Amino acid sequence: MRAAGRILCRTLNLAAAAIAPGVMTRELDVLCEREIRSAGAVPTFLGYQGYPAATCISVNDEVVHGIPSDRQLREGDICKIDLGVTLDGMVADAARTWPVGRIRPETGDLLRATEEALARGVAQCRAGRRVGDVGHAIQSWVEARGFSVVRALCGHGVGRELHEEPQVPNYGRAGRGVRLEAGMTLAVEPMVNIGRHDVRILDDGWTVVTRDGLPSAHFEHTILVTDEEAEVLTANGKG
């Protein structure tokens, strides 16, 4: 999973450098898939429950599971890429959100708040803490900034499969839920909306969008629980 995480991180860095007005989301998907395969790994999402691409690319009010297409990014958009990498049967899962050129200040606040919410959630991932501690840390940080956490989708265990036990909600009560143990690997993934938390699925059967049409941000890491600080397997600076 460490090795898968390194490939994943490098792939997201490559995609980040390519994001610009006029770029089609499908071009980003092709770039990512090529990078993953050239490392001898496999894009986990392709074919997962029939999903048709290597990446999920979701723009603006698209929360997650956007299907790469000929849609071109525009100045002022925010672009989310969510990516799974399988190497030798082990999975890493991560996502980031980037601004396309200059964005509205409030949207910039959303991106920073969501990335920090992820950091605060990950800081709770230690042996002896509970899943509710993670959700509570994320939710309280987000709501104190006037944003809302998506309830309909959760983080999750990850390892031999993309989605394993336990579920890791982005909301919850401190001290409640499954107890974390050293050696567990989790995908922590706050999805945060500027407006209300409600979402719906488009007719393509995949794309999750905010009901109020306002922007949403998503950051995700795969982490390893230890007795001390979690090891972030999809972070920059791990080679």
Q: Is 237 left (phi over 0), alpha (psi -120 to 50) or beta?
A: left
Subset of 148-187 contacting Co ion (CB under 5 A): 187
Segment contacting ligand MF3 (CB under 6 A): 18-26, 44-52, 133-141, 173-181? 44-52
Residue 156 assigned ligand-binding role? yes
Query: From the list 48, 152, 196, 236, which residue makes contact with ligand MF3 (rule: CB under 6 A)?
Result: 48
Total binding residues for ligand MF3 by CB under 6 A?
A: 12
Q: Between 51 and 219, whose beta carbon lies closer to ligand MF3?
A: 51
Question: What does 211 interact with, of ligand MF3, Co ion, none (CB < 5 to 8 A by kind)?
Answer: none
Contacts of 154 (CB under 8 A, 6+ apart): 167, 168, 169, 170, 189
What does the alpha-carbon distance between residue 40 and residue 78 come to, in Å, rounded to a whole number? 30
Query: From the list 5, 23, 51, 139, which residue makes contact with ligand MF3 (rule: CB under 6 A)?
Result: 51
Contacts of 4 (CB under 8 A, 6+ apart): 41, 85, 86, 87, 90, 91, 92, 233
- How buried is residue 1: exposed, middle or buried, by Cβ count under 10 Å (0-12/13-18/19+)? buried
Segment contacting ligand MF3 (CB under 6 A): 8-16, 47-55, 105-113, 229-237? 47-55
Query: From the list 6, 12, 45, 111, which residue makes contact with ligand MF3 (rule: CB under 6 A)?
Result: 45
Known binding site for substrate: residues? 65, 163
